[in-house]
Structure 1
Amino acid sequence: MKALLLQDKGLWKEMQIGDAEAPSCGAGEILVEVHAAGLNPVDYKTATGGNPRWTYPHILGLDVAGVVAETGEGVSQWEKGDRVVYHGDLTKPGGFAEYGVAYADRVSRIPDGVTFEAAAALPTAGYTAYQALHRKLPLERVETILIHGGAGGVGGFGVQLAKLAGKRVISTASAHNHEYVRSLGADEVIDYRTENIYERVMALTGGRGVDAVVDAVSRTSASESLDLLAFMGHLVYIAGPPDFTRIKTFSKVVSYHEIALGAAHGSGDPRAEHDLAVIGDAMLALMEQGKLSSQLQEVITLEEVPQALIRLSERHVQGKIVARIK
């Protein structure tokens, strides 16, 4: 099959199209003819250092949408021709290829009203945001939430989901992205380049702070976000933990929530593994109903993936980029 090949760790900028052996599905798995694959920062981040379970050349791409080509032993919920989307296991070959393999119980059905490209924009960023809000936060006790990086994948889905949940949403973004982030549902947007985030948050909350922060930016950002929380606030961190010593124990009583979406694949917990499909089903339903934007901004060819990943690494991409495979 045709695939975009990573020849060795660190060489993701030099990836080129080549021939690879097509995979086959085992028991409990399905073989998917890939129609579209989403791009994410995790692609270049993991490719930089590699993974001890990879063999080279390796195929990147976690977010895969396509059509079921074959079903493995014991698979009864899927049939050949079904339109599906899934979040792939990082330790295995991915979706920047003509075919991919997924565990049948971690796959979601694409509704008729959702394109392959829109579906492929969803898993890594969308499921992460959904997990942050609906699996970690006690939303019934959260009124105001700050979501960093509202123009990005995780942030953009987070803004939408928080607004759909009826929360007051504050976000951060570059000035040129403010209108876009507001269109996703943010009530207030702070320019992190020119404004003092702490002063703005305190002004917007009457000095109290926000009930929750979702941070997918960095460990530094997560640490600084602790100052923005109200008493008994919640920090959800995705790009690394904060400096826990920044807040003294028995003072602000902060709750910390780690998000590592892909860890479900290696958890050995069937419920956690299947929850990837449950989250996908919920978000695809919202997308079909017109309540959730895929944030799809650009559709590229497989050959253009390396250059697009470079742009992602420079943190200047709005929304989502998807490669059309078929």
Structure 2
Amino acid sequence: MKALLLHDKGLWKEMKLEEIDIPKPSAGELLIEVHAVGLNPVDYKTATGGNPNWSYPHILGLDVAGVVSEVGEGVTGWEKGNRVVYHGDLTKKGGYSEYAVTTAHTVSRIPDQVTFEDAAALPTAGYTAYQSLFRKLPMDRIDTLLIHGGAGGVGGFAVQLAKWAGKTVISTASRHNHEYVQSLGADYVIDYREENVKAKVMEITNGRGVDAVIDAVSRQSATDSLEMLAFLGHIVHIAGAPDYTQVKPFTKAISYHEIALGPAHQSGDRKAQEDLGMMGNEMLALVAEGKISSMLKEVITLEQVPEALSRLVERHVKGKIVAKIK
């Protein structure tokens, strides 16, 4: 099969299509004929530093959509020809290839109304946003959220999901992305470069602050957001924990939530792993019903992945990029 091979850490810009053997599924696994793979910043980040579990040449690509080609021993509920999507285990070989192997209990079934490309745009960013909102936050007690980086992958999905849940959504984005973030459902968009985010948030909430913050930007951004939370507020951090010492104990009773999507694979916790597939099924249903968008903005070839990853490094890509393989 053809695959985009990483020959050593740091060499992701030099990846090229090469021939490699088709993998075989072990017990409990599926062999997937890959049709589309989503691109994510985690690809170039892990490829830059490498991973001790990798052997080279390695294959990147966590967000894989395709068709079941072979069913491993002991697998039930799946058969050859099923359309599926999954979030892969970054310690193992990924989906920038014509075939890939994954655990059967972590995959989701793609509805007929959803394309492979749209499905592949979901897992890493979409499931992270979904976990943030519906696995961590008490959404029945939350009315207003501040979602940083609404033009990005996690932020964009979080804006859509929060609005679908009927919440008031405040987001941050560069001025040129305001219209786009509003189209996703944000009620208010703040230009983090030119405006005082805290002042705007307090103005919008009449001085109370927001019930929850979702931060996928940085540790500093998460720390700055602590001052924008209302009493009993929640902060979900994805790119680094805030400095908890900035809040005096027993004052605002803030709850802190760490998001760790990928480590479910290494956790040994079957329930946590199965939840990856459940979140996928729930999000795919929303896409199929037209309630949220996959945010797919660009479809490329497998050969174009290194160049597209270079653009992701610049952090100015809007929406999702997906490589179409078949």
Identity level (%): 72
1:129-176 CA deviation, whole Å, 9 max, x = no partner? 000000000011111001111111100100010001110000001111
2:112 is the alignment partner of 1:112? yes
Which runs of no fewer than 5 residues in structure 1 stay unpaired?
A: none
What amino acid sits opposite 1:103 in the alignment? T
1:61-116 CA deviation, whole Å, 9 max, x = no partner? 00000000000001121111110000000100000000111111110010000000
What amino acid sits opposite 1:321 in the alignment? I
What is the RMSD of the two structures over their aligned residues, measured on CA atoms?
0.7
2:8 — aligned with what? 8
What amino acid sits opposite 2:146 in the alignment? L
What amino acid sits opposite 2:34 in the alignment? V
Counterpart secondary structure, 1:127: helix
Distance 1:147 1:215 in 2: 6
| Structure 1 residues 106-145: aligned runs within 5 Å | 106-145=106-145
| CA deviation after TM superposition for structure 1 residue 21, in Å | 2.1
What amino acid sits opposite 1:157 in the alignment? F
1:166 — aligned with what? 166
Distance 2:65 2:131 in 1: 20
Counterpart secondary structure, 1:322: strand
| CA deviation after TM superposition for structure 1 residue 253, in Å | 1.3
What amino acid sits opposite 1:142 in the alignment? I
What amino acid sits opposite 1:93 in the alignment? K
Distance 2:245 2:10 in 1: 34
Counterpart secondary structure, 1:163: helix
2:320 — aligned with what? 320
| CA deviation after TM superposition for structure 1 residue 231, in Å | 1.2
2:14 is the alignment partner of 1:46? no
Counterpart secondary structure, 2:294: coil
Counterpart secondary structure, 1:257: strand
| Structure 1 residues 1-326: aligned runs within 5 Å | 1-326=1-326
1:253-274 CA deviation, whole Å, 9 max, x = no partner? 1100000100110111111000
| CA deviation after TM superposition for structure 1 residue 250, in Å | 1.3
Distance 1:43 1:57 in 2: 15
TM-score (norm 1): 0.99
1:290-309 CA deviation, whole Å, 9 max, x = no partner? 00100000000111111111
What amino acid sits opposite 1:312 in the alignment? L
What amino acid sits opposite 1:318 in the alignment? K
Counterpart secondary structure, 1:183: helix
Bigger shift: residues 85-94 or 226-235 = 226-235
What amino acid sits opposite 2:69 in the alignment? A
Distance 1:313 1:228 in 2: 29
Counterpart secondary structure, 2:21: coil
Distance 1:209 1:44 in 2: 36
Distance 1:54 1:21 in 2: 17
Distance 2:47 2:232 in 1: 38
Counterpart secondary structure, 1:293: coil
What amino acid sits opposite 1:243 in the alignment? D
1:172-215 CA deviation, whole Å, 9 max, x = no partner? 01111111111111000001111110111011011111000000
What amino acid sits opposite 2:186 in the alignment? A
Counterpart secondary structure, 1:266: coil
Distance 2:62 2:256 in 1: 27
| CA deviation after TM superposition for structure 1 residue 281, in Å | 0.5
Counterpart secondary structure, 2:102: strand
Aligned residue pairs total 326
Counterpart secondary structure, 1:135: helix
What amino acid sits opposite 1:57 in the alignment? P
Distance 2:20 2:209 in 1: 53
What amino acid sits opposite 1:96 in the alignment? Y
| CA deviation after TM superposition for structure 1 residue 22, in Å | 1.5
Distance 1:57 1:283 in 2: 33
| CA deviation after TM superposition for structure 1 residue 287, in Å | 0.4
What amino acid sits opposite 1:179 in the alignment? E
Counterpart secondary structure, 1:232: strand
The list of structure 1 runs, each at least 4 consecutive aligned residues, that deviate by more than 3 angstroms after superposition, is none
Counterpart secondary structure, 1:177: helix
